[in-house]
């Protein structure tokens, strides 16, 4: 049974990643189509394109960090199947950088935008 679970979880997370990637692609296409419909001015078009590209970068970083976390947990990460608390904590802590990557990216984009407002 434990062997089955070891293969099921990575498969489920891979399916979730594919669904996330499909959602991101659909969102990007809809944003670009809506931008073409609404914007008549070149300056506004450039602004919205820049914001759409920023959103694309953030969403792609979230998707890639999610995939890397799944790969790390499935193949490289620490195994806590023996029930040892120490290996559980180490496995949990080593996954934190995958969660922080997209959060730091969002914070940097916000900082950049706030600096432009203050200038």
Where do the structural domains in the chain lie, given as residue ranges? 2-118
Cα gap 23→82, rounded to integer Å: 37
Q: Can you give the pLDDT at residue 1? A: 44
Q: Can you give the pLDDT at residue 102? A: 83
Q: How many CA atoms lie within 13 A of 56 on its CB side?
A: 13
Q: What dihedral angle (degrees, nearest 10) is formed by the CA atoms of 39, 44, 45, 48?
A: -100
Cα gap 50→35, rounded to integer Å: 11
What are the tens digits of pLDDT across the range 63-109? Answer: 888 888 877 777 776 665 666 777 777 777 888 888 888 888 888 88
- Backbone phi, then psi, for 39, in 5-degree steps? -95, 125
Grade residue 5 by pLDDT with cuts at 50, 70 and 90: low
């Amino acid at each position: 049974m434990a062997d089955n679970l070891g293969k099921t979880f990575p498969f489920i997370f891979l399916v979730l990643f594919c669904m996330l990637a499909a959602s991101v692609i659909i969102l990007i296409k809809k944003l670009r189509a809506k931008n073409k419909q609404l914007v008549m001015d070149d300056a506004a078009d450039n602004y919205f394109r820049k914001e759409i590209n920023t959103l694309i970068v953030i969403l792609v970083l979230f998707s890639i960090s999610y995939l890397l976390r799944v790969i790390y947990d499935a193949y490289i990460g620490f195994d806590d199947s023996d029930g040892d608390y120490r290996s559980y904590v180490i496995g949990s802590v080593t996954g934190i950088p995958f969660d922080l990557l997209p959060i730091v990216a969002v914070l940097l984009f916000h900082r950049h935008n706030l600096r432009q407002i203050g200038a």
